[in-house]
């Protein structure tokens, strides 16, 4: 999950929901650069193919981080292999560091800074620590060695902490990126260490000054996820192709004033309304804009699986969808079953039924653009959940109030077969319906 405003016991906001926990569906992103670097910096275009792997864990249905995008690359001198979760809802990239040389046997899933001659620590008195960490959810601090110290906390009680550092990042065999700042985390607490051990760290991709995409200087990046085979591609830089479907753009919302519950470096857009089968729902405009505290922003987040709406809006959508499916679907009727703690509208579908009936579409209307969720994507089959001879399918929109999230979050389940462009230079997001499997072929990205 990604950058949402949530609350701890002290009512302080964390700007992120990301679990380092159980993964039902992992997306493995292998670094296969298709376009060569130019001699200038940053590179013009990099293309990464997306691969998916389904991990079934029916007894641990957690909201947090059902899908991970994994980038494989090397870091340090000599290079060490690392795999990082690509996260558009985080700023600081970090690696799980192992600073011991016990038995001279390096952990393949950890980065060992002692073995890298190009590794450099960052003192807490440096401009990087003082001026470029201001948007961190928890302020950076000084440790006992006067090094810049970062602590990250997540909604499922996972956390990581360590020191800011810099090193050389090797992107394939084409170029080296020197001095890229990241967190070298030597203390990680996770609710599912077995799953988290499969990756070395996290690659932050939001609009913060220390995010990977900001440090690399890319003016934009895009991704497209297929709705059929869940394969896709990630493109860093300008797509620069003539066949790409014209995009509809919606501006990113900018609030320069610091507000307690507004994430200034998230990809925030303005939600104007919601339609069900073309019917515009009676939702007051006032509940769709951030209030004086910043609560109520709408964030586009590739790291969250589903879409979550504030309670008053969710209840209107839920009632209309329930009304339009009254003669088509059979409601589960179990008030104690709430999928992932926020999705309380579920249905029973016979196990032998291969196709769902025609379902109402749900359209998210933004300023200048619209995202249409149709077909099977409006529902989600709960893995391993069977009631008699029926499988359980839930409405793929949830109530963010039940999660303590003071925001609207647009998840990647509803971005399937949509070309998503994040234009940092012009502060906007572009989107267009597209067969992402065909886009992958046109870019020459294999499986």
Q: Kindly report the backbone phi and psi dihedral angles of residue 378, in degrees, each rounded to the nearest multiple of 5, phi listed first.
A: -75, -15
d(CA 321, CA 317): 6
User: ∠ CA 252-254-259 to the nearest 5 degrees?
Assistant: 130
Instruction: Decide if 145 is catalytic.
Output: no
In total, the chain counts a number of residues equal to 447
Write out the two tokens for 358: 């025609």
List of the chain residues with pLDDT < 50: 1-40, 53-65, 173, 191-192, 194
Q: Are residues 163 and 121 in contact, defined by beta-carbon separation less than 8 angstroms?
A: yes
CA distances from 140 to 123, 136, 396 (A): 11, 7, 36
Q: Kindly report the backbone phi and psi dihedral angles of residue 182, in degrees, each rounded to the nearest multiple of 5, phi listed first.
A: -150, 175
Write out the two tokens for 369: 């653009």
> Which pLDDT score, from 0 to 100, does residue 41 have?
52
> Which pLDDT score, from 0 to 100, does residue 20 have?
37
Q: Which of 87, 167, 175, 263 is catalytic?
A: 87
> Which pLDDT score, from 0 to 100, does residue 390 have?
96
> Which pLDDT score, from 0 to 100, does residue 128 have?
96
Helices (H), 271-335: 311-324
Q: Is beta strand 407-410 parallel, antiparallel or unpaired with respect to 346-350?
A: unpaired
The pTM score is 0.83
Q: Tens digit of pLDDT for each residue in 405-442? A: 899 999 888 999 999 999 999 999 999 999 988 888 88
> Which pLDDT score, from 0 to 100, does residue 208 have?
93
> Which pLDDT score, from 0 to 100, does residue 10 have?
38
Q: Which of 156, 301, 344, 423 is catalytic?
A: 301
Write out the two tokens for 430: 């572009």
> Which pLDDT score, from 0 to 100, does residue 98 have?
85
Q: Are residues 1 and 301 in contact, defined by beta-carbon separation less than 8 angstroms?
A: yes
Q: Are residues 102 and 316 in contact, defined by beta-carbon separation less than 8 angstroms?
A: no
> Which pLDDT score, from 0 to 100, does residue 38 have?
31
Q: What is the CATH number of domain 46-217?
A: 2.40.70.10
Instruction: Decide if 334 is catalytic.
Output: no
Q: Do domains 46-217 and 248-443 have the same CATH topology?
A: yes
d(CA 258, CA 246): 35
Q: Is beta strand 13-14 parallel, antiparallel or unpaired with respect to 25-29?
A: unpaired
Question: CB burial class (10 A; 0-12, 13-18, 19+) of residue 305?
Answer: buried
> Which pLDDT score, from 0 to 100, does residue 175 have?
67
d(CA 264, CA 256): 7
Write out the two tokens for 35: 């376009």
> Which pLDDT score, from 0 to 100, does residue 424 have?
95
Sequence-distant (6+) residues with CB within 8 A of 444 are: 34
Q: Are residues 418 and 227 in contact, defined by beta-carbon separation less than 8 angstroms?
A: no
Q: Tens digit of pLDDT for each residue in 207-246? A: 999 999 999 898 999 988 887 777 778 888 888 777 888 9
Hey, what CATH topology would domain 248-443 get?
Cathepsin D, subunit A; domain 1 (2.40.70)
> Which pLDDT score, from 0 to 100, does residue 445 have?
79
Q: Where do the domains of the chain lie?
A: 46-217, 248-443
């Amino acid at each position: 999950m990604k950058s949402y405003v949530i609350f701890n016991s002290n009512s302080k906001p964390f700007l992120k929901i990301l679990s380092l926990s159980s993964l039902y569906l992992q997306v493995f992103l292998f670094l296969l650069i298709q376009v060569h670097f130019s001699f200038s910096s940053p590179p013009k275009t990099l293309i990464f193919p997306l691969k998916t792997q389904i991990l079934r864990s029916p007894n641990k249905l957690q909201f947090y981080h059902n899908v991970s995008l994994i980038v494989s690359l090397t870091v340090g001198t000599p290079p060490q292999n690392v795999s990082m979760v690509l996260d558009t809802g985080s700023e600081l990239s970090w690696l799980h560091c192992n600073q011991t040389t016990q038995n001279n046997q390096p952990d393949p899933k950890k980065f060992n800074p002692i073995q890298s001659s190009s590794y450099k620590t960052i003192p807490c008195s440096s401009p990087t620590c003082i001026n470029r960490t201001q948007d961190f959810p928890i302020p950076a601090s000084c440790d006992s060695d006067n090094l810049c110290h970062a602590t990250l906390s997540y909604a499922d009680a996972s956390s990581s902490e360590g020191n800011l550092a810099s090193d050389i990042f090797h992107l394939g065999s084409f170029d080296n990126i020197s001095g890229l700042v990241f967190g070298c985390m030597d203390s990680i607490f996770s609710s599912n260490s077995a799953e988290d051990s499969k990756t070395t760290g996290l690659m932050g991709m939001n609009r913060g000054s220390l995010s990977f995409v900001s440090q690399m200087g890319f003016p934009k990046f895009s991704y497209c996820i297929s709705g059929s085979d869940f394969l896709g591609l990630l493109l860093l830089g300008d797509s620069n192709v003539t066949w790409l479907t014209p995009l509809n753009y919606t501006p990113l919302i900018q609030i320069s004033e610091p507000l307690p519950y507004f994430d200034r470096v998230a990809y925030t857009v303005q939600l104007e309304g919601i339609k069900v089968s073309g019917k515009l729902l009676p939702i007051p405009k006032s509940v769709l804009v951030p209030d004086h505290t910043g609560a109520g922003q709408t964030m586009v987040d590739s790291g969250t699986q589903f879409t979550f709406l504030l309670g008053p809006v969710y209840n209107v959508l839920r009632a209309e969808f329930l009304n339009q499916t009254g003669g088509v679907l059979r409601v589960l009727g179990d008030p104690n079953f709430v999928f992932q703690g926020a999705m309380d509208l579920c249905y029973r579908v016979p196990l032998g039924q291969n196709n769902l009936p025609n379902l109402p579409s749900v359209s998210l209307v933004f300023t200048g653009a619209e995202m249409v969720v149709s077909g099977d994507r409006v529902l989600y089959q709960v893995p391993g959940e069977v009631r008699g001879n029926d499988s359980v399918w839930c409405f793929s929109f949830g109530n963010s109030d039940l999660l303590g999230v003071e925001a609207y979050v647009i998840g990647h389940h509803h971005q399937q077969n949509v070309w998503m462009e994040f234009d940092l230079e012009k502060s906007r997001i572009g989107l267009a319906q597209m067969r992402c499997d065909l886009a992958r072929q046109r870019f020459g990205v294999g499986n």
